[in-house]
Amino acid sequence: MIDLSLSYMNIITRTFIYKYFYPEKMLVQYSNIPKGEAKVRVQHMDDLWYLSHIIDINDSVSGQTIRKIKIGSGDEMNANVVKKKIFLTIDVERIEFHKDTGALRIGGIITAGPEDIPRGQHHTFNVEEGSILSIKKRNGFLRHQVDKLKESAENRSTGCMVCALDRDVCHFALLKKYGFDIIGTVSGDVQKKYAEGQAKGNFYSDVAKHLTDYVERYSIKHLVIGSPAFWKDELKKELMKKGLHEKVTLAFATCNSTGQNAIVEILKRPETAQLLKEERSASEMGLVEVLLSEISKSDLAVYGIKETENAANMGAVRLLLVTDAFIHKSREAENYGRLDRVMFAVERSKGDVHVISSDHEGGQKLDGLGGIGGVLRYKMI
């Protein structure tokens, strides 16, 4: 048996996969893509974002849900209302995803359920962690929806990492789209300000070593380090010695909390928010720039729903870009069917479809062009 108290520099390292919010990936329990069927279990806040892009209006969605049911006489005054967990199937009429809260609501008309639940009434699924949904698409999955389904079931990281540093303990966390996973903790024997004797080993050097390993293992591009006092400055010296500043973008933040609460506080800091925004939007902005470049230099581009629809129906679109704001607007205006047919036409002609966030500059530029645009295979006559 190894005595940890006698280990190198008396530093106890506990590396583990600790799920602070949820497990890491959505569980696809069943899928039959040709038949347009899938059954999924929500295990992470990211999954709600993915589902908002996978589920369409007119899809059939089934699952356990809570519904208010009247018990007693038909008299409104005398009837008791209770909340009951039941299994329902609805034909989807609306999908509402709130980015600020991560809430996903799927509303529609009841088509199947217990005998005492009238068909044709409206119901809304409040989808959350642990929800299990069965999805049935009448027209099958579009290819970009299949890609989203596969992506949601894979390990995913934003490429950003947070290091919450205290005097003698450090927590490491990988950032997700709507949360984080703690992947390790290091504790060390650090000399106190007025304590006699010398500290055993170099705690900050050991933390820097772990950070270097994590950067390589998880392909980290951005690292945010926060601490309540000057300890982050001591760690910065060690990181500079190891040349980590040449491999990743470093940001330093001050926090008042310690432990896991410190990570939550650091996530709210503007330094972290900016890094996440840049990481998520980089690839999407690149796609928008391709469209803008084609618009400026040639006739191999269209934008706006009318022109893009015409090009898609002719099989001329090789790259279709649609903002999530335009999708939301189409759903609200009950005109999503038209957009859905455009995306289907592009995929049928072997084109690629990408949903672009309206939160960054690239998405806002595309919204300025009508929220939809395409790069063409050939010039339209």
pLDDT single digits (tens) 112-165? 999 889 899 999 999 988 899 999 998 889 888 888 888 777 655 567 888 999
Place of tokens 């679109």: 317
Choose the most confident range, by mean pLDDT, from 7-21, 67-81, 346-360: 346-360
Alpha carbon distances (Å) from 13 to 10, 186, 203, 339, 369: 10, 5, 11, 53, 53
**Residue 268's pLDDT is what?**
74
* Helix, coil or strand: residue 230: coil
From CA 114, how far away is CA 116, in angstroms rounded? 6
Q: Which residues have a Cβ under 8 Å from the Cβ of 11 and sit 6 or more positions away?
A: 186, 187, 188, 189, 201, 203, 206
From CA 175, how far away is CA 131, in angstroms rounded? 23
Least confident of 129-138, 177-186, 258-267: 177-186
pLDDT category of residue 193 using cuts at 50, 70 and 90: very low
CB 231 within 8 A of CB 166: yes
Q: Letter for the amino acid at 37? A: E
CB 14 within 8 A of CB 119: no
- The residues that bridge with 208 in the sheet, in sequence order, are none
pTM (predicted TM-score):
0.59
pLDDT higher than threshold 80 for residue 77? no
What is the pLDDT averaged over residues 346-353?
92
Choose the most confident range, by mean pLDDT, from 41-45, 147-151, 311-315: 311-315
218-254 burial string, b = 16+ CB within 10 Å, else e? bebbbbbbbbbeebbebbbebbeeeebeeebeebbbe
Alpha carbon distances (Å) from 271 to 103, 284, 348: 25, 21, 43
From CA 129, how far away is CA 25, in angstroms rounded? 11
Q: Which residues have a Cβ under 8 Å from the Cβ of 364 and sit 6 or more positions away?
A: 358
Q: Edge-to-edge strands of the sheet including 352-356? A: 301-303, 372-376, 317-323, 352-356
And the tokens for 114?
A: 């217990």
Beta strands in the chain (DSSP E): 12-18, 27-32, 37-41, 60-71, 80-98, 103-112, 122-127, 132-136, 160-165, 169-175, 180-187, 222-227, 249-254, 301-303, 317-323, 352-356, 372-376
Q: What is the DSSP letter of 40?
A: E
Q: Which domains does the chain have, with CATH numbers?
A: 4-20+157-268 (3.30.420.60), 27-152 (2.30.30.870), 282-376 (3.30.1330.30)
Least confident of 34-43, 44-53, 183-192: 183-192
What is the pLDDT averaged over residues 208-226?
89
And the tokens for 112?
A: 């199947």
Q: Letter for the amino acid at 130? A: G
